[in-house]
Amino acid sequence: MTIQEAKTYGKANLPGSPTPELDTDVILQHATGFDRTHLLLNRGYVLTAEQEAAFAKAIGKRTTGLPVAYITHEKEFYGRNFYVDENVLIPKPDTETLIEKALETASEIEKSKSFNSDFFRICDLCSGSGCIGITFLKELLRTSPGLHEKAEITFIDISESALKVTMLNAARIFSESENGKARFFRSDLFESLDGNSAVDWKFDLILTNPPYIPSKEAADLLKDGRSEPILALDGLSGDGLGIIRRLLPQAFGRLKKGGKIIMETGEYNAKEAAALMEECGFSGVHITKDMNGMDRDVSGTKA
Protein backbone atom coordinates (compact mmCIF):
# COMPACT_ATOMS: atom_id res chain seq x y z
CA MET A 1 0.00 0.00 0.00
CA THR A 2 1.38 3.40 -1.02
CA ILE A 3 0.74 6.64 0.84
CA GLN A 4 -1.75 7.66 -1.86
CA GLU A 5 -3.53 4.31 -1.63
CA ALA A 6 -3.64 4.66 2.17
CA LYS A 7 -5.25 8.08 1.83
CA THR A 8 -7.88 6.65 -0.51
CA TYR A 9 -8.47 3.68 1.81
CA GLY A 10 -8.88 5.88 4.86
CA LYS A 11 -11.38 8.24 3.24
CA ALA A 12 -13.40 5.34 1.88
CA ASN A 13 -13.57 3.62 5.27
CA LEU A 14 -14.54 6.65 7.35
CA PRO A 15 -17.90 7.68 5.87
CA GLY A 16 -19.24 8.43 9.36
CA SER A 17 -16.52 10.93 10.19
CA PRO A 18 -17.17 14.63 9.56
CA THR A 19 -13.49 14.99 8.59
CA PRO A 20 -12.40 11.72 6.92
CA GLU A 21 -9.52 13.25 4.95
CA LEU A 22 -8.05 15.02 7.97
CA ASP A 23 -8.51 11.94 10.16
CA THR A 24 -6.73 9.81 7.58
CA ASP A 25 -3.81 12.22 7.31
CA VAL A 26 -3.31 12.44 11.08
CA ILE A 27 -3.53 8.67 11.50
CA LEU A 28 -1.13 8.15 8.59
CA GLN A 29 1.37 10.58 10.13
CA HIS A 30 1.13 8.68 13.39
CA ALA A 31 1.54 5.27 11.75
CA THR A 32 4.53 6.28 9.61
CA GLY A 33 6.22 8.94 11.72
CA PHE A 34 6.21 11.24 8.67
CA ASP A 35 5.03 14.84 8.82
CA ARG A 36 2.30 16.21 6.55
CA THR A 37 4.75 17.69 4.04
CA HIS A 38 6.58 14.39 3.67
CA LEU A 39 3.29 12.61 2.99
CA LEU A 40 2.34 15.17 0.34
CA LEU A 41 5.68 14.91 -1.44
CA ASN A 42 6.01 11.13 -1.27
CA ARG A 43 2.64 9.78 -2.33
CA GLY A 44 4.27 6.82 -4.04
CA TYR A 45 6.12 5.65 -0.93
CA VAL A 46 5.22 2.07 -0.08
CA LEU A 47 4.36 1.55 3.59
CA THR A 48 6.24 -1.14 5.46
CA ALA A 49 4.20 -4.08 6.72
CA GLU A 50 4.33 -2.66 10.24
CA GLN A 51 3.24 0.82 9.08
CA GLU A 52 0.38 -0.59 7.01
CA ALA A 53 -0.83 -2.78 9.89
CA ALA A 54 -0.71 0.14 12.34
CA PHE A 55 -2.56 2.37 9.88
CA ALA A 56 -5.32 -0.17 9.19
CA LYS A 57 -5.76 -0.90 12.90
CA ALA A 58 -6.10 2.81 13.69
CA ILE A 59 -8.63 3.34 10.90
CA GLY A 60 -10.62 0.44 12.33
CA LYS A 61 -10.68 2.10 15.74
CA ARG A 62 -11.80 5.38 14.19
CA THR A 63 -14.79 3.66 12.58
CA THR A 64 -16.13 2.92 16.07
CA GLY A 65 -16.29 6.66 16.82
CA LEU A 66 -13.10 6.73 18.92
CA PRO A 67 -11.52 10.17 18.47
CA VAL A 68 -8.28 10.40 16.56
CA ALA A 69 -6.56 11.95 19.60
CA TYR A 70 -7.23 8.80 21.64
CA ILE A 71 -5.83 6.69 18.82
CA THR A 72 -2.63 8.71 18.41
CA HIS A 73 -2.48 9.71 22.11
CA GLU A 74 -1.68 13.26 21.08
CA LYS A 75 -3.57 16.54 20.79
CA GLU A 76 -2.27 20.02 20.06
CA PHE A 77 -3.35 22.80 22.41
CA TYR A 78 -2.05 26.35 22.19
CA GLY A 79 0.79 25.21 19.96
CA ARG A 80 1.98 22.36 22.18
CA ASN A 81 1.38 18.63 21.87
CA PHE A 82 -0.24 16.98 24.89
CA TYR A 83 -0.50 13.29 25.64
CA VAL A 84 -4.14 12.21 26.02
CA ASP A 85 -5.91 8.95 26.70
CA GLU A 86 -9.44 7.93 27.65
CA ASN A 87 -8.94 9.02 31.26
CA VAL A 88 -9.01 12.71 30.29
CA LEU A 89 -10.95 15.04 28.06
CA ILE A 90 -9.40 15.92 24.73
CA PRO A 91 -8.29 19.60 24.86
CA LYS A 92 -10.63 21.76 22.80
CA PRO A 93 -9.76 24.94 20.87
CA ASP A 94 -12.46 26.89 22.75
CA THR A 95 -10.59 26.31 26.02
CA GLU A 96 -7.76 28.45 24.64
CA THR A 97 -10.07 31.37 25.46
CA LEU A 98 -9.47 30.60 29.14
CA ILE A 99 -5.70 30.86 28.62
CA GLU A 100 -6.05 34.28 27.02
CA LYS A 101 -8.26 35.47 29.86
CA ALA A 102 -5.85 34.03 32.44
CA LEU A 103 -2.85 35.85 30.95
CA GLU A 104 -4.80 39.10 30.92
CA THR A 105 -5.84 38.49 34.52
CA ALA A 106 -2.27 37.70 35.60
CA SER A 107 -1.17 41.06 34.27
CA GLU A 108 -3.91 42.73 36.31
CA ILE A 109 -2.84 40.86 39.44
CA GLU A 110 0.80 41.81 38.95
CA LYS A 111 -0.13 45.50 38.68
CA SER A 112 -2.60 45.53 41.57
CA LYS A 113 -1.72 47.15 44.88
CA SER A 114 -2.93 44.11 46.79
CA PHE A 115 -0.31 41.84 45.16
CA ASN A 116 2.90 42.05 47.14
CA SER A 117 4.26 38.58 47.55
CA ASP A 118 7.31 36.43 46.98
CA PHE A 119 4.99 33.81 45.48
CA PHE A 120 2.35 33.74 42.75
CA ARG A 121 0.26 30.71 43.55
CA ILE A 122 -1.86 29.14 40.83
CA CYS A 123 -4.27 26.21 40.93
CA ASP A 124 -5.45 24.14 37.97
CA LEU A 125 -8.54 22.49 39.46
CA CYS A 126 -10.00 19.43 37.65
CA SER A 127 -6.73 19.35 35.73
CA GLY A 128 -7.29 16.37 33.41
CA SER A 129 -4.55 16.49 30.78
CA GLY A 130 -3.05 19.50 32.55
CA CYS A 131 -3.33 21.56 29.36
CA ILE A 132 -4.69 24.64 31.14
CA GLY A 133 -2.18 24.96 33.97
CA ILE A 134 0.81 23.82 31.93
CA THR A 135 0.02 26.15 29.04
CA PHE A 136 -0.64 29.08 31.36
CA LEU A 137 2.67 28.70 33.18
CA LYS A 138 4.60 28.30 29.93
CA GLU A 139 2.95 31.39 28.42
CA LEU A 140 3.50 33.35 31.62
CA LEU A 141 7.23 33.12 30.94
CA ARG A 142 6.64 34.97 27.67
CA THR A 143 4.14 37.57 28.90
CA SER A 144 5.05 38.16 32.57
CA PRO A 145 8.53 36.78 33.35
CA GLY A 146 8.45 38.37 36.82
CA LEU A 147 5.32 36.45 37.76
CA HIS A 148 6.69 33.29 36.15
CA GLU A 149 9.72 33.51 38.43
CA LYS A 150 7.44 33.72 41.47
CA ALA A 151 4.96 31.11 40.26
CA GLU A 152 4.03 27.89 42.03
CA ILE A 153 1.31 25.73 40.54
CA THR A 154 -0.93 23.08 42.08
CA PHE A 155 -2.79 20.55 39.93
CA ILE A 156 -5.86 18.85 41.42
CA ASP A 157 -8.07 16.12 39.98
CA ILE A 158 -10.49 13.64 41.54
CA SER A 159 -9.27 10.88 39.22
CA GLU A 160 -5.93 9.24 40.00
CA SER A 161 -5.67 8.10 36.37
CA ALA A 162 -6.27 11.64 35.10
CA LEU A 163 -3.73 13.04 37.53
CA LYS A 164 -1.13 10.63 36.15
CA VAL A 165 -1.75 12.13 32.70
CA THR A 166 -1.33 15.62 34.17
CA MET A 167 2.00 14.58 35.68
CA LEU A 168 3.16 12.94 32.46
CA ASN A 169 2.46 16.12 30.46
CA ALA A 170 4.13 18.29 33.07
CA ALA A 171 7.24 16.14 32.87
CA ARG A 172 7.20 16.29 29.06
CA ILE A 173 6.49 19.99 28.58
CA PHE A 174 7.79 21.82 31.64
CA SER A 175 11.44 22.63 32.05
CA GLU A 176 13.10 21.03 35.06
CA SER A 177 12.75 24.24 37.06
CA GLU A 178 9.07 24.63 36.08
CA ASN A 179 8.30 21.06 37.07
CA GLY A 180 9.93 21.84 40.40
CA LYS A 181 7.29 24.53 40.91
CA ALA A 182 4.46 22.01 40.44
CA ARG A 183 2.49 19.98 42.98
CA PHE A 184 -0.10 17.31 42.24
CA PHE A 185 -2.98 16.25 44.47
CA ARG A 186 -5.81 13.79 44.08
CA SER A 187 -8.86 15.42 45.62
CA ASP A 188 -12.60 15.89 45.15
CA LEU A 189 -12.34 19.62 44.45
CA PHE A 190 -10.49 21.07 47.48
CA GLU A 191 -11.99 18.70 50.06
CA SER A 192 -9.04 16.34 50.51
CA LEU A 193 -6.67 19.27 50.92
CA ASP A 194 -8.29 20.53 54.11
CA GLY A 195 -5.84 20.06 56.95
CA ASN A 196 -2.98 19.22 54.57
CA SER A 197 -0.03 21.30 55.76
CA ALA A 198 1.56 21.05 52.31
CA VAL A 199 -1.19 23.25 50.87
CA ASP A 200 -2.43 25.30 53.81
CA TRP A 201 -1.83 28.52 51.88
CA LYS A 202 -4.22 30.32 49.54
CA PHE A 203 -4.09 30.94 45.82
CA ASP A 204 -3.73 34.10 43.77
CA LEU A 205 -5.44 32.50 40.76
CA ILE A 206 -7.66 29.45 40.29
CA LEU A 207 -8.17 28.13 36.75
CA THR A 208 -10.74 25.40 36.24
CA ASN A 209 -12.65 23.53 33.58
CA PRO A 210 -14.99 21.45 35.76
CA PRO A 211 -17.70 19.07 34.55
CA TYR A 212 -20.59 21.34 33.60
CA ILE A 213 -22.75 19.54 31.06
CA PRO A 214 -26.33 18.65 32.13
CA SER A 215 -26.46 14.96 33.02
CA LYS A 216 -28.77 13.84 30.23
CA GLU A 217 -26.87 15.74 27.58
CA ALA A 218 -23.56 14.36 28.87
CA ALA A 219 -24.86 10.81 28.47
CA ASP A 220 -26.19 11.58 25.00
CA LEU A 221 -22.83 13.01 23.92
CA LEU A 222 -21.14 9.67 24.51
CA LYS A 223 -23.51 7.62 22.37
CA ASP A 224 -21.34 8.22 19.29
CA GLY A 225 -18.48 6.17 20.75
CA ARG A 226 -16.20 9.09 21.54
CA SER A 227 -15.23 7.45 24.88
CA GLU A 228 -14.46 10.66 26.79
CA PRO A 229 -14.72 10.13 30.57
CA ILE A 230 -18.24 10.83 31.83
CA LEU A 231 -16.62 11.88 35.12
CA ALA A 232 -15.13 14.90 33.36
CA LEU A 233 -18.32 15.87 31.53
CA ASP A 234 -21.33 15.30 33.79
CA GLY A 235 -22.17 18.30 35.98
CA LEU A 236 -24.23 15.91 38.16
CA SER A 237 -27.51 17.78 37.83
CA GLY A 238 -30.20 18.57 35.30
CA ASP A 239 -28.75 22.02 34.75
CA GLY A 240 -25.11 20.93 34.80
CA LEU A 241 -24.29 23.08 37.82
CA GLY A 242 -24.20 20.39 40.50
CA ILE A 243 -20.41 20.36 40.81
CA ILE A 244 -20.08 24.11 40.28
CA ARG A 245 -22.42 24.75 43.22
CA ARG A 246 -19.91 22.93 45.43
CA LEU A 247 -16.82 24.29 43.70
CA LEU A 248 -17.45 28.02 43.99
CA PRO A 249 -17.76 28.31 47.81
CA GLN A 250 -14.65 26.15 48.21
CA ALA A 251 -12.73 28.23 45.67
CA PHE A 252 -13.76 31.45 47.44
CA GLY A 253 -12.30 30.09 50.65
CA ARG A 254 -9.08 29.03 48.92
CA LEU A 255 -8.36 32.40 47.31
CA LYS A 256 -6.36 35.24 48.79
CA LYS A 257 -8.04 38.60 49.13
CA GLY A 258 -7.86 40.04 45.63
CA GLY A 259 -7.43 36.55 44.20
CA LYS A 260 -9.30 35.58 41.05
CA ILE A 261 -11.02 32.56 39.54
CA ILE A 262 -11.57 31.81 35.86
CA MET A 263 -13.92 28.90 35.16
CA GLU A 264 -15.06 27.40 31.88
CA THR A 265 -18.79 26.69 31.75
CA GLY A 266 -19.74 27.10 28.12
CA GLU A 267 -23.04 28.00 26.56
CA TYR A 268 -24.97 25.49 28.68
CA ASN A 269 -25.10 27.58 31.83
CA ALA A 270 -22.61 30.47 31.87
CA LYS A 271 -25.17 33.05 32.97
CA GLU A 272 -26.43 30.82 35.78
CA ALA A 273 -22.85 30.10 36.86
CA ALA A 274 -22.12 33.83 36.91
CA ALA A 275 -25.12 34.36 39.18
CA LEU A 276 -23.86 31.61 41.51
CA MET A 277 -20.44 33.25 41.59
CA GLU A 278 -22.00 36.52 42.72
CA GLU A 279 -24.02 34.70 45.39
CA CYS A 280 -20.76 33.25 46.76
CA GLY A 281 -19.36 36.75 47.25
CA PHE A 282 -17.24 37.21 44.14
CA SER A 283 -17.12 40.71 42.69
CA GLY A 284 -16.49 41.92 39.15
CA VAL A 285 -18.09 38.77 37.74
CA HIS A 286 -17.66 38.65 33.98
CA ILE A 287 -18.55 36.27 31.14
CA THR A 288 -16.03 35.89 28.30
CA LYS A 289 -17.12 34.66 24.87
CA ASP A 290 -15.11 32.17 22.82
CA MET A 291 -13.92 32.42 19.21
CA ASN A 292 -17.40 31.47 18.01
CA GLY A 293 -19.09 34.19 20.02
CA MET A 294 -20.53 31.73 22.54
CA ASP A 295 -20.46 32.26 26.31
CA ARG A 296 -17.43 30.30 27.52
CA ASP A 297 -15.71 31.44 30.73
CA VAL A 298 -16.89 33.07 33.94
CA SER A 299 -14.45 35.00 36.11
CA GLY A 300 -14.61 36.83 39.40
CA THR A 301 -12.54 38.35 42.20
CA LYS A 302 -12.47 37.75 45.94
CA ALA A 303 -12.68 41.37 47.06
Q: Are strands 75-77 and 80-82 parallel, antiparallel or unpaired?
A: antiparallel
Percent of the chain's residues with pLDDT above 70: 98
Query: Stretch 237-243: mean pLDDT, rounded?
Result: 95
Tens of pLDDT along 162-211? 999 999 999 999 999 999 999 999 999 999 887 666 666 799 999 999 99
The residue that leads in pLDDT, 73 or 192, is 73
Residues with Cβ within 8 Å of residue 283, at least 6 apart in sequence? 300, 301, 302, 303
Mean pLDDT of the chain: 94
What's the pLDDT score for residue 225? Answer: 85
Residues with Cβ within 8 Å of residue 244, at least 6 apart in sequence? 210, 212, 235, 263, 265, 269, 273, 276
Residue among 261, 257, 295 at smallest CA distance from 278: 261
What residue spans of 42-82 are helical by DSSP H? 49-63, 68-72
Residues with Cβ within 8 Å of residue 100, at least 6 apart in sequence? none
Tens of pLDDT along 247-276? 999 999 999 999 999 999 988 899 999 999
Torsion of CA 46, 47, 48, 52, to 10 degrees: -140
